[in-house]
Structure 1
Amino acid sequence: MEKSLTLAWILVLCTAMAVAPCRGYYSDAKPYVPVPKKVTHLHFFMHDTISGKHPSAVVVAHPNITTASNDTFGFVVVIDDPLTVGPDVNSKLIGNAQGLWVSTGRDVACLTVYIDFGFMEGEFNGSSISVFSRNTIEETERELAVVGGRGKFRMAQGYAHLKTYYANFTTGDAIVEYKVTVIH
């Protein structure tokens, strides 16, 4: 009985001491007040170049197996791809796409991508949108999820509609057209 009473007192005292330090903690932060959401439509081309002397995409890891049905399954590629207003790589540069993609399809050419599209021109200079989604690259048209952003795109959500403009499956080079709807 005495052990139970002692244990009960210890629990009461520990509980009282745990609550005491919280009494003086107050935040100066103002409560979040949602602002009306804005919808922005973006259109640009991403140039993903693995071949040549100055690639914008580099394989940084590959699987150490020889039995995969797809010899690119498991590849990890880091990118710093230019974004342009047109499909020609020499058209006006508006930003870059930095991130990575992983070949995650064993039987189908599929990538899981995390890319941050940073803009350095016009109204959205210094802002970016983040995409994290599955990209089934054998399909000519597909959709990726916009999961965030920074700057003018802070707390963004939305989707990116992709269309392959050019692809060379031998070299891995591609030009992809992006039509993005961003809610921010």
Structure 2
Amino acid sequence: MARHRLLLAAAVVLALAAASIADDARQILLRMYMHNVFGPPGQRVVLIVKGAGPMNPSMPPEHYFGETYAFDDSLTQNRSSSSKQAGRAQGTAMLASMRHPVYLVNMVMLLTGGEYDGSTIVVEGRLDASKKERELAVVGGTGEFRLASGYVNCTTAREEKKFTVYELNVNATIPGDDSEPEPDTGRRRRRIPHF
């Protein structure tokens, strides 16, 4: 019986701690456009691993299970590639299905300019290219996006033979700042709750 009370008390303390953190959390919404260029001029996507698996029947010829691309795409504030730069999207995409146009995506969005200059958003997930709207997970970040969680909705804004422009809508939640200044240095140190 005492053990059950202890477990119940621990659950209540954890719930209160989580609620306290959630109260201080802030939500950040961003919209930007990723320019995926497959050929010259300005190529930003390269095939780094030719898939050794079977040809994927849902894709154009010469697409094989396991093929992996690396990309270093520009992020802009509008659909036009000449619009103001918002940062870079750098990562990999691997054809992860033998039968469907599904990629495993790992991406870091480096933001440039403005209040998020130098911060990154880490994105990962399963991208089904046959869907009109795709969702990837925000799994972390640096700078203003440290410990971020959330999602990115991705839609195709424009598509031509050698390039695709994706609209990215980022919805990230950042935990509240419960840090305290360290004596003597002024640096901030995160408070760790004790139970």
TM-score by length of 1: 0.76
Deviation at 1:69? Answer: 3.5
Q: Is the partner of 1:152 in helix, strand or coil?
A: helix
Find 1:63's aligned residue among 28, 51, 75: 51
- Unpaired runs of 5+ in structure 1? 1-32
Q: Secondary structure at the match of 2:41?
A: coil
Structure 1 moving runs of 4+ over 3 Å: none
Give CA deviations for 1:52-105 in whole Å, capped at 9, x if unaligned: 13311111111235x424442321111110000001111111100011111112
Please give the alpha-carbon distance, in whole angstroms, between the structure 2 residues aligned to 1:160 and 1:114.
Answer: 12
Q: Calculate the aligned-residue CA RMSD, in Å.
A: 1.7
In the TM superposition, what whole-angstrom CA distance separates every residue of 1:135-167 from its partner, at most 9, and x where no partner exists?
Answer: 111211111100000000000000011111122
**Which amino acid is 2:28 matched to?**
T
* Aligned length in residues: 149
TM-score after normalising by structure 2: 0.72
Does 1:158 find its partner at 2:158?
no
- The counterpart of 1:180, out of the listed 170, 174, 178, is 170
The answer to whether structure 1 residue 149 and structure 2 residue 141 are counterparts is yes
- Deviates further, 96-105 or 148-157: 96-105
Provide the rounded CA distance (Å) in 2 between the counterparts of 1:143 and 1:129. Answer: 15
Please name the residue that 1:131 is paired with: 123
- Corresponding position of 1:89: 81
User: Highest CA radius of gyration, 1 or 2?
Assistant: 1
The alignment-based identity, stated in percent, is: 28
Amino acid at match of 1:50: F
- Structure 2's unaligned 5+ residue stretches are 1-19, 175-195
Q: Which residue of 2 aligns with 1:167?
A: 159
- Counterparts of 1:178 and 1:103, CA distance in 2: 20
